[in-house]
Structure 1
Amino acid sequence: MKKSIQSKSKMKHVIRYIVVSILLIWSLFPVYWMLNNSFKNRIEQFSDTPTFYPNQVTLENYMTLFLELGFHKALLNSLLIATVATTIAVFIGALAAYSLSRYRFIGRKGLLVWILLTRIFPPVTFVIPLYEMMGNAGLLNTRIALILAYIAFNLPFAIWLLIGFFNEVPFELEESAMIDGASPFQTFRKVVLPLIIPGIGATAIFTFITAWNEFLYAMIFIQSPELSTVPVALSGLITEYLVLWGPMSAGGILSAIPIVLLVYLMQDTFIKGLTLGAVKG
């Protein structure tokens, strides 16, 4: 009887590992193929027989990307825009989420519903009004236009996500700090904020990824190639008569590196943020 139970348990584990392995291969193989393709020359890329590794490793795709196409400018633009937009969105979102979590006032529920509705609509619905606003303010074809657009789009998400984290902090901690003479802002900054650092880290990662990968606003608001972001620069490698598969694969790999590094460096904070409040004592 015990052997039968153990064999069933082992079989379940084997099936689980097989399923997980298939899903991993399905997810990671396109990334591997893109990396593999980025080190091939043009002749090998269009070979009738696909190769799972370069017969002759070359860096010409990366050299073309930087020396001829100026891809480093797009990387710097995306890094600057995404970082500034994320910082401002998370900062304002934390203040707004704290006030909505702790204070009760007339119209609070309506404000929460309005914030949620602005996040439900797809980004394309806001393109025309934002374009007109940026044009009237003289901000079109500037990095500021994208930063403001990304803040407007990511702020509702940051607020709703952070409200849940603030709700998990016991109000008694703040009352104790206020009894000791701390002001409301000091209580927020020195007591509450350190406790939700994992939540802020998780929110920042999601917000940064959204801003980094955004394509629609970047394509419409920016006309100068010097100010293009990574998604727009990569789309420019597809023309009517030619697709630069090698540089595009190299650009895809390079564009993924900042996200991978960010998640790797903040993985502990990210995991704690995702599980914060999942287990209550």
Structure 2
Amino acid sequence: MSPRTRRRLTRVAFNALAVVIIVCSVFPVYWMVNTSLLPGGVVSSPTPHLWPDQLTFDNYADVWVEGGIVSALGASFAVTAITVVASLLFAFAASVALSRYRFRSRRSFIVAVLVVQMIPAESLIISTFRILDGWQLINTILGLGLVYIALVLPFTIWTLRSFVDGIPVELEEAAMIDGCTRSGAFWRITFPLLAPGLVATGIFAFIQAWNEFLYALVILTRPEAQTLPIWLRAFVQATKATDWSVVMAASTLMAIPVIVFFLLVQRRMAGGLVAGAVKG
């Protein structure tokens, strides 16, 4: 077998493997959407339906009208927005300070950030609840938002610091030689190049806040204050016998904002790689 034929077969094998991985990753999502578009009786039948041959939107109507998803949707949007904005602001300031400045205890702070990431979040539930209870923040979006910020901040700081370290400081120095101030060089040259890091950490913070279940279950005990994961659990329990078509419809509605958010920022994630170039 010639080397060219061997390379071609290897390429075909890797492409086939990639197709299998993509199909295995996409199929659960497709099955969720497909199930949400079928009547409950069809879903519970022993015969599988690989496509919505009995298309219906009644499941979505049941979730939207009778399920009370609107209040849970508003609570999830509020706590997610607080988490994403605050965590990006704090992580951005901390990552720039750690990467661009040398100060006492800098290395200790970096190690502390890494150690905090290793602590299981479940071990902090009781102490977190008592702190929020003392601050009168139980059953509040602000209280849950503070918890989520504390949970995602170590990872966002660590990730953004890597992005800042990857941008040569010589770019800022070149801009300063051309007449920019230090702050002007940072905002005009370095900050645009940080767009991929900001988007990546923003997506992480968004998904963590949107899908988090345990802390929301402990902190938000009032039905009107519950986020979508807690609402879905209560909704399933309220239906007695689980209607999987309705559950899949609710799960699909929960997944849509994450997909939309990613589609909105994915261009910026790629565009930031070439933004902020200096003149030659």
The answer to which of 148-157 and 186-195 deviates more is 186-195
Residue correspondence of structure 1 range 257-272 to structure 2 within 5 A = 257-271=256-270
Of 108, 127, 130, 1:129 maps to: 127
Pairing 1:256–2:250 present: no
Secondary structure, counterpart of 2:47 in structure 1: coil
Counterpart in the other structure of 1:50: 48
- C-alpha distance in 2 between matches for 1:216 and 1:270: 30
CA distance in 2, matches of 1:268, 1:43: 42
Residue 98 of structure 2 corresponds to: 100
Native 8 Å contact 1:200 1:273 kept in 2: no
Structure 1 residue 143 corresponds to structure 2 residue 141 = yes
User: 2:273 & 2:113 partners in 1: Cα distance?
Assistant: 22
* Aligned equivalent of 1:216: 214
Residue 73 of structure 1 deviates from its aligned partner by 2.1
**Against the structure 1 CA distance between its residues 244 and 273, is the aligned structure 2 distance closer, same or farther, given a 3 Å change threshold?**
farther
Aligned counterparts of 2:8 and 2:176: Cα–Cα separation in 1: 56
CA offsets per residue over residues 131-172 of structure 1, 9 Å max, x none? 111100000001001110111111111111111111123323
TM-score (normalised: structure 2): 0.89
Match of 1:12 in 2: 10
- The 8 Å contact of residues 237 and 244 in structure 1, kept in 2 or not, is answered as no
Q: Alignment partner for residue 111 of structure 1, among 105, 109, 112?
A: 109
- Closer, same or farther: CA 244–100 of 1 in aligned 2, 3 Å: same
Q: Higher mean Cα deviation, 14-23 or 31-40?
A: 14-23
Distance 1:133 1:188, change over 3 A: farther
Q: 1:102 to 1:81 in 2, by over 3 A?
A: same
Q: 1:118 and 1:112 mapped to 2: Cα distance?
A: 10
> How far apart are residue 185 of structure 1 and its match?
4.8
2:278 corresponding residue in structure 1: none
* Displacement after TM superposition at 1:175 (Å): 4.2
SS at match of 1:236: helix
Greater CA deviation, 127-136 or 230-239? 230-239
Q: Secondary structure of the residue that 2:34 maps to in structure 1?
A: helix
C-alpha distance in structure 2 between counterparts of 1:181 and 1:19, whole Å:
50
1:90 corresponds in structure 2 to 88
In structure 2, distance between residues paired with 1:118 and 1:265: 31
Partner Cα separation in structure 1 for residue 53 and residue 272 of structure 2 = 44
User: How far apart are the structure 1 equivalents of 2:63 and 2:273?
Assistant: 37
Gaps of 5+ in 2: 276-280
Deviations 1:92-140 (Å, cap 9, x if unpaired)? 1101111111111221111111111111212112211211111000000
Q: Would the alpha carbon gap of residues 77 and 275 (structure 1) be closer, same or farther in structure 2, given more than 3 Å must change?
A: farther
Number of residue equivalences = 273
Superposition TM-score, scaled by structure 1 size: 0.88
SS in 2 for 1:220: helix
Contact 1:141 1:222 in 2 (8 A): yes
Q: State the distance in 2 between where 1:275 and 1:235 align.
A: 44
Measure, in 2, the Cα distance between the counterparts of 1:220 and 1:105: 39
Structure 1, residues 165-193: CA drift from partner, whole Å, max 9, x if none? 111233234445667473x5555444432
Q: Cα gap change, 1:54/1:176 in structure 2, threshold over 3 Å: closer, same or farther? A: closer
Q: CA 1:48–1:6 in 2, change beyond 3 Å: closer, same or farther?
A: same
Larger deviation: 264-273 or 137-146?
264-273
Q: Name the residue aligned to 1:279.
A: none
Q: For structure 1, which segment, 203-212 or 11-20, has the greater mean C-alpha deviation from structure 2 after superposition?
A: 11-20
Q: What residue in structure 2 maps to residue 64 of structure 1? A: 62
Is contact 2:40–2:243 with CA below 8 Å preserved after alignment?
Answer: no
CA RMSD for the aligned pairs? 2.4
Structure 1 residue ranges without an equivalent (≥5): 277-281
Cα 1:11–1:136 shift into 2, 3 Å: same
